[in-house]
Amino acid sequence: MLAWTIYLSFIGAAAVALTPTGRPLFARVTALLTSLAVLGIAIAAVVEGGGQPITIVRAPWISRLGIEYYLAADGISLTLVLLTGIAAVAGILFSWNIERRVRDFFALYLVLIGAVYGVFLSFDLLLLFVFYEIAIIPKYFLIAIWGSKRCEYAAMKLVLYSFAGSALVLAGTVAAYCVSGQHTLSLDALANFPFPAHFQMWAFPMVFVGFAVLAGMWPFHTWAPTGHAAAPTAASMLLAGVVMKLGAYGCLRVAMMLFPRGLDPWGFRVLGLGSWQQVFAVVAVIGIVYGATVALVQKDLKFVVGYSSVSHMGFVLLGLMTLNRIGLSGAVYQMFSHGIIAGLLFAVVGRMVYERTHTRDLGELSRIPLGRLIPFAAVTFVLAWMASIGLPGFSGFIAELQVLIGSWRAFPWLSWIAGLGILIGIAFSWRALQATFFGEGVTASDTEHPMPPITVPERLGAYLLLATTIVLGLYPRLLMSLILPALNSPLFEQLHRGAWK
């Protein structure tokens, strides 16, 4: 059934495109019903799944090259499929107000969702790459057509960065195919092939960086805040919530799983660093602190959330580089947690606040009594920021705590710096919250700033995302029972034999 997450998304996109031009409600309802059906499939798979790899579909595709149409899933895939389903439903609810080219918007939206499902379920490296590239096309049009504030520049920047990273990934894919000599690109076969250590030493960083570009890794992160700020609300939610996870997923599923010896020590040191593990751990921590520091001085509320996403994705990359079970499981948990929380933050900023005030400038927002005018948005924003800074009771606490424990075991000195990033995150969160909803300079009466009430779709979307982060903050076993068996599966056997601690 999991394959139907892909098929239904594409079928739904076609159905939306065929709805009557003068009936935008038909397009909205069709998109929502499609995303709900796919979410139901994802939930059923998570309930039934045990975390170990399962084959969904395996059939010849390009027989001459040994390439297959191979869909499979393990606990990591299921976790991210569930994230995609929740984010897709919430994004449609928060896009209910779209009036311009409604059919086109939701059709492109569902194509993007279908491609994302395809990446998470592909166990053939070329098939994964194809879905990865398909996702770039709707991303561009969603931002360029429905975006704001230099939207075409932001869309093109995102695409150029994506294609640059994809070129590195494609080069690594071709190299792996040629070196293995196995006439296959199936991930399980390549994961068990003993690539020469000298090959892995250069293939690993190339593929890792290629995917990490889309994960917002410093210094290749600049597309992310720009893209988030220009994108419409649903696209911002998907960019931060799901699309950035494609990059992190590729880092783990392809670079680390296929080329684990690339993480071994070099035998010499450069600037005190003796392995790619240490290099990327340092880069991840720089991203954590840099993203939080830049967010602290932003005047545009959407840029605050955008740079906070760069900071939080740094925790994902840091967790991956710990190479221990608690750090890696924390990284996957952070992928899910950040996807939910970032989606909620962008929903409040882009839909509840910007669509009503037509400004994202913190100075201007501080003069509007939003806390009294739209209290639901204020409460949602408070809870979302509490989740974002990792307060107990929310999923962000579980994820960041595991990453910090894992990094303490691997490189204690970096854990202190990552902790500093959390403290800076508290500072920029408080600043943004106070300026947006509780500005000290508010003197105007409520009647001077009439605000449309929060709509039912907005409330439902907020409830869905809030319930998810709270439930997983209180009962993390729901996902850990999927993630841990996947990390212990034979697919990661070579990683266990190498640098695993």
Give residue-wise pLDDT tens across range 449-484. 567 888 898 899 999 999 999 999 999 888 898 898
Predicted confidence band at 498 (pLDDT cuts at 50, 70, 90)? low
Supply the pLDDT for residue 230: 81
| Helices 375-388 and 456-474, packing angle to 10 deg | 30
Predicted confidence band at 499 (pLDDT cuts at 50, 70, 90)? low
Supply the pLDDT for residue 315: 92
d(C-alpha 203, C-alpha 222), whole Å: 24
d(C-alpha 213, C-alpha 247), whole Å: 7
Supply the pLDDT for residue 146: 81
pLDDT of residue 239 exceeding 60, the answer is yes
Predicted confidence band at 110 (pLDDT cuts at 50, 70, 90)? very high
- Across the chain, what does the average pLDDT equal? 86
pLDDT digits over 353-390, tens only?
888 888 888 888 888 888 888 889 889 988 988 888 88
pLDDT digits over 205-222, tens only?
999 999 999 888 988 888
Percent of the chain with pLDDT over 90: 30
d(C-alpha 244, C-alpha 246), whole Å: 5
Supply the pLDDT for residue 440: 59
Predicted confidence band at 163 (pLDDT cuts at 50, 70, 90)? confident
Supply the pLDDT for residue 318: 93
d(C-alpha 307, C-alpha 313), whole Å: 10
Instruction: Give the Å distances, CA to CA, from 57 to 31, 121, 123, 124, 184.
Output: 26, 10, 10, 11, 16
Predicted confidence band at 98 (pLDDT cuts at 50, 70, 90)? confident
CB 231 within 8 A of CB 142: yes
pLDDT digits over 25-80, tens only?
888 899 999 999 999 999 998 888 777 888 889 888 888 888 889 999 888 999 99
pLDDT of residue 154 exceeding 80, the answer is yes
Supply the pLDDT for residue 448: 54
Cis preceding-peptide flag for 219 (omega within 30 of 0): yes
Question: What is the bridge-based pairing of β-strands 67-73 and 54-62?
Answer: antiparallel
pLDDT of residue 12 exceeding 60, the answer is yes
pLDDT of residue 442 exceeding 70, the answer is no
> Hunting for tokens 């669509």 — which residue is that?
355
pLDDT digits over 261-309, tens only?
888 888 788 777 888 888 999 999 999 999 999 988 888 888 888 888 8
CB 236 within 8 A of CB 302: yes
